[in-house]
A and B are shown apart, each in its own frame.
Chain A
Amino acid sequence: MKGFKKVLATTLAAAMVTVMAIGCGSSKDTTDTKAEEKTETSDSAEADKSADVLKGGGSNIIYIITPSVSNPAFKAEADTASAKAKELGYEVKTVSHDDDPTKQTELFDSAIADKAAAIICDNAGADATVEAVQKARDAGIPTFLIDREINEEGVAISQIVANNYQGAKAIAEKFVEAMGEKGKYAELLGKESDTNAGVRSSAFHEVIDQYPDMEMVAQQTANWEKTEAYDKMEAIIQANPDLNGVICGNDTMLEGVCAALAAHNMTLPVIGVDGSDEAAALIKSGQATGTALQQFAVIAEMAVVQADDYLKNGTTGLDEKQLVDCIAITADNVGKLSGFIFTE
C-alpha cells in the first residue's frame, strides 16, 4: 500500500511537471517570443534591429506596389520608382492593389513567391497592411513604404510619408482666404478605406472649422474618382445654387468638380490635394484656387535609394519614419510645378 502511494505520488508529480512543461513551451512560437523578449530586456532595441538585417528574398526583383495608376499621381510614383530601380540594376515588377487590402496581400504573396529583393509599397490601409509587411519581413524581404504610413513601427524598414496633414492644412488656409473667410462650401471626400481620405478631411476642417462664417452645406464621397465627382457635384449645385466654394480630397475629384462648375458657367474657389499637371492647368486658368503638392516623384526615388542602401549595407542610416512636406500650390507658384516636381 505504501509502495502504491509512493508510485501514485511520483506519477502525479511527474504529470504535473509534464503539464507545466507543455503549458510553457507548447509551441515553438511561444519559446521564440520569450527568447526575444529576454533579449529585448537586456539589449537595446537598436542592437536588436541591427541583428535582424533582412537580406532580401534572393532574387534581383524589386516589387513596386501602388494604388491604381489611373490617378496620375500614383502613375508618377510607380514610374519614378521603376526608373530609379532599373537604373540601379534591379529587375522591376510594378503592380496595383487598387486600394483593396485583400488584393494587396495577394501581391505581397506573389512578391514572396518571386523571392523579391525588396518591396516598395504605397499601401492599402494603415492597419490592414501591417500583416502583409510582417509576412514579407518573415520571408527576409524588406519593405519600404511610401506616401502613406502604417500604424506600426519596426515592421517596415522605411516609411517615407507624405505629410498630407500639413499639405491639406496649408491649402485649406488658401481656400479660406479665397473665400474671404465666409460662405457656403461643399466637400468631396476620398475613398473611405484609404487613411489619407480621413487625414486630409480632418486637416481641412481643423483649419476651416475655426472660421464661424464658413458653412459646409454638403459632404459626400466621390471615391477619389473624376466622373463620380462630376456627378456628385452636379447634384450639389442643383441643391445649393448659392454655393461659394468646394474642397476636394484629391486632384482627380477637383477635375470633376471644375468640369461640373464650368458646365454651369460657375467659377468658385476650389482646392484639391496631389499637385497633378491637370490641377496645375486649372489653377493657371483660374478655375481652381490651389492644390497641395505631394512630392510623389521625390518620395518614390528616396524609397528606391534607401532600399538599395539597405540591401547593400544592411542599413539605410535613417529613421524609419520620415516625413516629406507637401507644398501649397496657388496661382503664385504654379509655374514651378510640372510632373509632380516642384523646382525652386
Chain B
Amino acid sequence: MKKRIIALGLTLALVASALLTGCGIVKVVKIGEEGKYTGEVEFNAGDDVAAIWETSALPELNETAVDLTEFLTESKGDLTALADKYGKYSMGTSGELSYVVKGTGMVEEVNTESQAGYMTVKPDGYTGAESIKIQIGPVYKGSSIRDTLSFIKFGDYKNQEEWAAVSQGINAIVAEDVVEPAGPESLQGKTVSFVGAFTVSAGSTDVLITPAVLEVQ
C-alpha cells in the first residue's frame, strides 16, 4: 500500500514536472520564421545574391532577354514605347523602367578614363542613332539587373538599405564573374555577345547596359 502511494505520488510529480517544463516550450515554428524566436538573423547581401545568381537570376535573364537590334528597331527611337511589352517598372506601372536585352556587336571604343568605365558597342545589323554602352566598371551605375528580376522585391527585405545592398551584391558579381574574365581593356575592335539589363529615363537615348553575360566571339 505504501509503495502504491509513493508510486502514485511519483507518477503525478513526473507528469506535473513534464507538463511544467513542456509548457511554453513546445511550439510549432514555421520554416523561415525561426528568426522571430531566435532573434534577428544577420542579413548578408553577398550570400543572399550568391544564392540566387546561378540558380535563378542568370536563367531568368537569359530567358527574358529580347534581341537588342530588334528592340531598337521596334522602339523607333522612343525607349519607353515598349514598356508594356518587354519592360519592368520599379513601382508596378511607374518609376524606373528596365529592360533585359541580348545581342552581339563590335566594340568601337573602350573607355577606362572614367571610373564608371564602359565600352560602346555597335549591335550587328543596327544603324540607329542610340549610343549603346556596356558598363565595365570598376564603378557600376544603377541597379538595372536587380530591378528586372521577377522573383525578388523590396517587401522581402527589411529596409531600403538592404534592398540597395542586394543591387551592390549583384554588381559585385558582375564585376568579378562577368566583366573581369572577359578582359574588357583588350576588346576594342572585337565582337562580343552579351546579355544584360538597362534602365531608361524619359527622353533619353542612352542605353547603358549592365552585363550579366559577356563573351568574346
Q: Do A and B come from one complex?
A: yes
The reply to whether A319 and B155 form a contact with Cβ atoms under 8 Å apart is: yes
The reply to whether B5 and A181 form a contact with Cβ atoms under 8 Å apart is: no
Complex CA–CA separation, A212 to B114 (angstroms): 11
Answer yes or no: B129 CB below 8 A from chain A CBs: no
From 296 to 344 in chain A, residues with beta carbon under 8 angstroms from any chain B beta carbon are 319-325, 344
Given contacts A20-B19, A23-B20, A166-B164, contact A12 B9 (CB under 8 A): yes
From 139 to 170 in chain A, residues with beta carbon under 8 angstroms from any chain B beta carbon are 149, 151, 153, 161, 163-166, 169
Complex CA–CA separation, A121 to B164 (angstroms): 24
Complex CA–CA separation, A19 to B143 (angstroms): 58
Q: What 1/0 flags go to A18-35 for Cβ under 8 Å of B?
A: 011001100000100010
The reply to whether A149 and B159 form a contact with Cβ atoms under 8 Å apart is: yes
Of chain B, the residue at the smallest CB distance from A44 is: B30
Answer yes or no: A2 CB below 8 A from chain B CBs: yes
Given contacts A203-B164, A206-B168, A210-B138, contact A24 B23 (CB under 8 A): yes
Complex CA–CA separation, A18 to B155 (angstroms): 46
The reply to whether B159 and A16 form a contact with Cβ atoms under 8 Å apart is: no
Chain B residues near A114: list those with CB within 8 A: none
Answer yes or no: B90 CB below 8 A from chain A CBs: yes
Q: What 1/0 flags go to B79-99 for Cβ under 8 Å of A?
A: 000000000001100011000
Chain B residues near A134: list those with CB within 8 A: none
Of chain A, the residue at the smallest CB distance from B29 is: A41
In this complex, how many residues of chain A approach chain B with their Cβ under 8 Å: the count is 47
Chain B residues near A207: list those with CB within 8 A: 139
Number of contact residues on B: which range applies? 35 or more
Complex CA–CA separation, A17 to B23 (angstroms): 12
Answer yes or no: B126 CB below 8 A from chain A CBs: no
The reply to whether A210 and B160 form a contact with Cβ atoms under 8 Å apart is: no
The reply to whether A13 and B28 form a contact with Cβ atoms under 8 Å apart is: no
Given contacts A41-B28, A211-B139, A319-B155, contact A165 B115 (CB under 8 A): no
Answer yes or no: A6 CB below 8 A from chain B CBs: yes
Of chain B, the residue at the smallest CB distance from A323 is: B154
Cβ-defined partner of B16 (8 Å) among A2, A20, A206, A324: A20
Chain A residues near B158: list those with CB within 8 A: 151
The reply to whether B13 and A320 form a contact with Cβ atoms under 8 Å apart is: no
Q: What 1/0 flags go to B25-48 for Cβ under 8 Å of A?
A: 001111000000000000000000
Of chain B, the residue at the smallest CB distance from A209 is: B139
Answer yes or no: A281 CB below 8 A from chain B CBs: no
Given contacts A164-B160, A165-B164, A211-B139, contact A9 B23 (CB under 8 A): no
Cβ-defined partner of B5 (8 Å) among A2, A38, A41, A319: A2
Smallest CB–CB gap between A173 and chain B, Å? Answer: 6
Complex CA–CA separation, A7 to B116 (angstroms): 86
Answer yes or no: A37 CB below 8 A from chain B CBs: yes
Smallest CB–CB gap between B4 and chain A, Å? Answer: 10
Chain A residues near B115: list those with CB within 8 A: 181, 210-212
Complex CA–CA separation, A181 to B114 (angstroms): 8
Q: Find the residue from A6, A169, A321 having the highest chain B CB count within 10 A.
A: A321
The reply to whether A2 and B160 form a contact with Cβ atoms under 8 Å apart is: no
Cβ-defined partner of A16 (8 Å) among B13, B30, B90, B163: B13
Of chain A, the residue at the smallest CB distance from B138 is: A210
The reply to whether A40 and B12 form a contact with Cβ atoms under 8 Å apart is: no
Q: Find the residue from B91, B115, B143 having the highest chain A CB count within 10 A.
A: B115
The reply to whether B163 and A165 form a contact with Cβ atoms under 8 Å apart is: yes
Of chain A, the residue at the smallest CB distance from B28 is: A41
The reply to whether A13 and B9 form a contact with Cβ atoms under 8 Å apart is: yes
Chain A residues near B91: list those with CB within 8 A: 322-325
Complex CA–CA separation, A241 to B88 (angstroms): 46
The reply to whether A325 and B139 form a contact with Cβ atoms under 8 Å apart is: no
Smallest CB–CB gap between B3 and chain A, Å? Answer: 11
Cβ-defined partner of A169 (8 Å) among B1, B19, B153, B164: B164
22 example contacts (A-B, Cβ-Cβ < 8 A) are as follows: A12-B9, A12-B13, A13-B8, A13-B9, A16-B12, A20-B16, A20-B20, A23-B20, A23-B23, A41-B30, A161-B160, A165-B163, A169-B164, A181-B114, A203-B164, A211-B115, A321-B154, A322-B91, A323-B154, A323-B163, A325-B90, A325-B95
Q: Which residues of A are in contact with B by a Cβ distance under 8 Å?
A: 2, 5-6, 9, 12-13, 16-17, 19-20, 23-24, 30, 34, 37-38, 40-41, 126, 149, 151, 153, 161, 163-166, 169, 173, 181, 195, 199, 202-203, 206-207, 210-212, 319-325, 344
Given contacts A16-B16, A165-B161, A173-B141, 12 further A-B contacts (CB under 8 A): A9-B6, A13-B16, A20-B20, A23-B23, A34-B24, A41-B29, A149-B160, A207-B139, A319-B153, A321-B155, A324-B95, A325-B91
